Copies of this chain bind each other. A is one copy, B any other.
Amino acid sequence: MMEKAAPLRLNGRIWIELDSGRLLGPGRVELLERIKASGSIRQAALQMEMSYKQAWDLVNDMNDRFDTPVVISHRGGKGGGSAVVTEKGLKAIEQYHILDASFKRFLEENHKNIDL
């Protein structure tokens, strides 16, 4: 019965897509940010509890489908290689956050219209 008195909230998520499907949503943005911070796709994958292969697949998909790559990686060597987020990748991160901030405002503003 307590739950029935709980307030209803509006929530959601946004992403950037091409005709071929989703290109950039919250998960991929987080992956890019963690690659930027750690300089390593492997570290970023570990932090997000995804497999190294899964992280690579996401990076490759973005690199293929954006008009220029978002991550440049140097495989191998001691320490297992390094990765750098490009200018394009940084711009993608920034734009997603701007859009998501607008979306959060949208949710706040429309929240009050729920009357159920």
Q: Are A10 and B116 in contact (CB under 8 A)?
A: no
Q: Are B116 and A110 in contact (CB under 8 A)?
A: no
Chain A interface residue count, Cβ-Cβ cutoff 8 angstroms: 38
Which A residues between 60 and 116 are near B, CB-CB below 8 angstroms? 65-67, 88, 91-92, 95, 98-99, 102-103, 106-107, 110, 113-116
Taking CB atoms, residues of chain B closer than 8 Å to A23 are 8
- From A9, A12, A99, residue with most partner B Cβ within 10 Å: A12
Q: Are A15 and B4 in contact (CB under 8 A)?
A: no
Q: Is A16 an interface residue (CB 8 A)?
A: yes
Taking CB atoms, residues of chain B closer than 8 Å to A95 are 113-116
Partner of A12, one of B15, B20, B110, B113: B15
Q: Is A11 an interface residue (CB 8 A)?
A: yes
A10 vs B18: C-alpha distance in the bound complex, in angstroms? 9
Question: Which A residues lie at the B interface, using CB under 8 A?
Answer: 3-20, 22-23, 65-67, 88, 91-92, 95, 98-99, 102-103, 106-107, 110, 113-116
